[in-house]
A = this chain, B = another copy of it.
Amino acid sequence: MKEYIKLIDENLDKFLQVQYPSEIFESMRYSVLAGGKRLRPIMCLEACRIFGGNIEDAIPTACAIEMLHAQSLIHDDLPCMDNDDFRRGKPTNHKVYGEATAVLAGDALLSFAPQIIIQKSKNLSAETKVKLLEEYCIAAGAYGLIAGQVVDIDSEGKEISAETLEFIHTHKTADLFKFALKAGAIVAGASEAQIQAMEDFGQKLGFAFQICDDILDETSTFEELGKTLGKDKEAHKPTYTAIFGLEKAREEVICLLDQACAIIAEQGMKSEIFSEIIAGIKERASSVK
């Protein structure tokens, strides 16, 4: 896990060199290099490894996924969206660089991420790159992350159905998990069935992760998470805990993680990294006061 994180951090730093106009690159670096668990790029590298791919070939795509993740956080934190002042214990991007630069830094990352896949994936065929870029566009856009964010914002202060919540969680969170895992499998040249298994695995893991996040938003402190907590409840945001309560939420996390384990086992795959990630989410969800 630590080696993966080191690889990812080193390459993100290398890809994101400051050029003129420096302000925009510094703003991009501020959010991309702000730490974080690097869960999505780790999953990408690990999916590549377990299907027999060369991890080096997946690094540009893994870094692109982290850039896309950072982009979504920068724009989600904007005053016109969730209006968050802190992220990972640091002031949010627009608090440091101003709103205009934060909007542009997010925009720049949306093009920079696929540019890295194209220019830095030396051993991949054009066909593989096009496949990765197609998955990237779908995950990033109005069929993916943005669909989730739009419905999330629309649902504030409203009573929403379990189906709508599932739509939000699928697109806002699980789509990027799925993309990370599928992209690793694509780089490794995995079969369609294996890519599909990664998609199913990502869906379960993404849901478990998001419900865990909902639990923590309600039960943790600023010191523990590095961001302003209880904001979801205050803004009457639709969360799993708001609809089903803490107890059911914790049960659902365990259930989803068991299903995720079953998918891995069915494929005959062995991965300490995936086991660690699953154990980590389980532990966080269980530590509820």
| A interface residues with partner B (beta carbon < 8 Å) | 19-21, 23-25, 28, 71, 75, 78, 80-81, 98-101, 103-104, 106-108, 110-112, 114-115, 118-119, 125-127, 129-130, 133-134, 136-138, 140-143, 146-147, 149-151, 153-154
Contact = CB atoms under 8 A, between A and B. Distances in A.
B103 A103 contact: yes
Contacts of A147: 20-21, 24
A23 B127 CA distance: 34
A20 to B, nearest CB: 8
Contact of A126 (B129, B141, B143, B149): B129
A150 B24 contact: yes
A91 B28 CA distance: 31
A56 B127 CA distance: 22
Nearest to A78: B103
Given A21-B154, A110-B110, A146 B115 contact: no
Given A21-B147, A150-B23, A154-B23, A81 B110 contact: no
**Which of A19, A106, A114 is the most central at the interface, judged by chain B CB atoms within 10 Å of its CB?**
A114
Nearest to A127: B126
A130 B115 CA distance: 10
Nearest to A104: B146
Nearest to A111: B141
Given A24-B147, A149-B104, A111 B137 contact: yes
A128 B134 CA distance: 15
